[in-house]
Amino acid sequence: METIETKVKNHIHRNLPFVLYSKPNSEEIVGFFQHNDSLFEVNDFTEKGFVMASFDGLKTYLIPESESEVVHFTLVKKEVNLSQKELANLNSAAQNNFERLVAKGIAAIQNNEFKKVVLSRTECVEVPAFDMMDTFQKLVQLYPSTFVYCFFHPKLGNWLGATPEQLLKVKELNFETISLAGTQKDTGSTEIIWGDKEREEQQFVTDYLVSKLENVASQVQFTKPYSVKAGSIWHIKTDVSGVLNLDSSLKKVIQLLHPTPAVCGLPKEIAKFFILENENYDRSFYTGFLGELNCNFTNSVVSSDLFVNLRCMQIKDLQAHLYMGCGITKDSDPKKEWEESVNKSMTMKKVL
């Protein structure tokens, strides 16, 4: 019988699309191995398969269930050897550029252009001996409470990530989503104290989600904010749930939510315009969304389970391109936001 490692190697060798993923707190790995190298796009979100969408919302691609072999398996746990090498490679030019960008965002907020904007940067790390399966395995073992994936398509590239943020889960008409924002590094302390800046940033996201979802759903409920850990970083989280209206399509709900204020800003369109004008690089699939679309593996109801593509990297030409973003409000400090982006980069650097 062909092992999963062999299957992955064969697909890469034959230049055929595939994805492997593991849901939060699950032992199971799911794989979609596409039979051809066609590029499929999502049109109305009634399609079935694994979906991968860009930040700008212009392109949503699919590895279709009908064109793939779908496999379910459990990873045999291996000893995880983490990189002891400090992959810092931080240069002062990158720091200055990012701090300047953040300062520009703060000035725009003080000028009442928007309330919040999420600004990001990219960083390159040399990976001459990159092993996709080995890296995926490390991510699964290191970050069990996140959605971990590795995705390959000859026309879209090679992406891996471990994201703590759900965009939307829909089963029949019942939906769940989360509001996740605010960041601090784990210091080993038992008590997590949040400042006004982080609490306000997270509240923006919650208020936005609830107000938008009330247009397409009933019985919208949300929990009190609570602290949650993803890897070595803490966030503030609120769970939101409800029942979609009969006339609400999945497409309509996704368009309302994506991109959320947690990855874009508020008001959404103005913040998005500022990002596209000022970040000076293409986010591509970073802060887009990905996951199961209308899948039905257990003969129960069809469900979609989508995540925001955070803490991710693209592998290209023996380099890992890492992506890190920070939520900027009127109380942000450019230096602290730079440090936060460095902390976030360690999620991926640890496994390289």
- pLDDT, one tens digit per residue, over 102-131 is 999 999 999 999 999 999 999 999 999 999
Instruction: Give the mean model confidence (pLDDT) for residues 36-55.
Output: 97
* pLDDT, tens digit (0-9, with 9 covering 90-100), for 172-218: 999 999 999 988 988 888 889 999 999 999 999 999 999 999 999 99
Distances (CA, A) of 15 to 42, 64, 156, 161, 272: 22, 17, 11, 21, 34
Confidence (pLDDT) at 81: 75
| Confidence band, pLDDT 50/70/90 cuts, at residue 59 | very high
Q: Using an 8 Å Cβ cutoff, are 286 and 120 in contact?
A: yes
Instruction: Give the mean model confidence (pLDDT) for residues 279-297.
Output: 96
Confidence (pLDDT) at 85: 61
Q: Using an 8 Å Cβ cutoff, are 245 and 163 in contact?
A: no
Instruction: Count the residues in the chain.
Output: 352
Distances (CA, A) of 347 to 133, 148, 184: 17, 12, 13
* pLDDT, tens digit (0-9, with 9 covering 90-100), for 319-345: 999 999 999 999 999 999 999 999 899
Distance CA 341, CA 88 (A): 12
Confidence (pLDDT) at 86: 56
Q: Count the domains in the chain.
A: 1
Distances (CA, A) of 316 to 10, 274, 289, 319, 321: 19, 27, 20, 5, 7
Q: Any idea which residue has 């389970």 for tokens?
A: 305
Residue environment code for 164-203, b if the CB has 16+ CB neighbours within 10 A, otherwise e: bbbbbbbeeeebebbbbbbbbeeeeeeebebeebbebbbb
| Confidence band, pLDDT 50/70/90 cuts, at residue 279 | very high
- Cβ-proximal residues to 278 (8 Å cutoff; 6+ apart), any chain: 101, 104, 105, 119
| Confidence band, pLDDT 50/70/90 cuts, at residue 32 | very high
Provide the residue range defining the domain that includes 260.
4-349
Q: CA torsion, points 217, 220, 225, 229, in degrees to nearest 10?
A: -50
Alpha helices in the chain (DSSP H): 4-13, 92-110, 132-142, 196-213, 250-257, 268-278, 334-349
Distance CA 29, CA 86 (A): 30
Nearest to 127 by CA among 285, 314, 343: 314
Decide if pLDDT at 264 tops 80: yes
| Confidence band, pLDDT 50/70/90 cuts, at residue 347 | confident
Confidence (pLDDT) at 89: 58
Task: Tell me if residue 101 falls in helix, strand or coil.
Answer: helix
Instruction: Give the mean model confidence (pLDDT) for residues 302-312.
Output: 96
Q: Any idea which residue has 């092993």 for tokens?
A: 131
CATH number of the domain at 39, please: 3.60.120.10
- Cβ-proximal residues to 200 (8 Å cutoff; 6+ apart), any chain: 329, 331
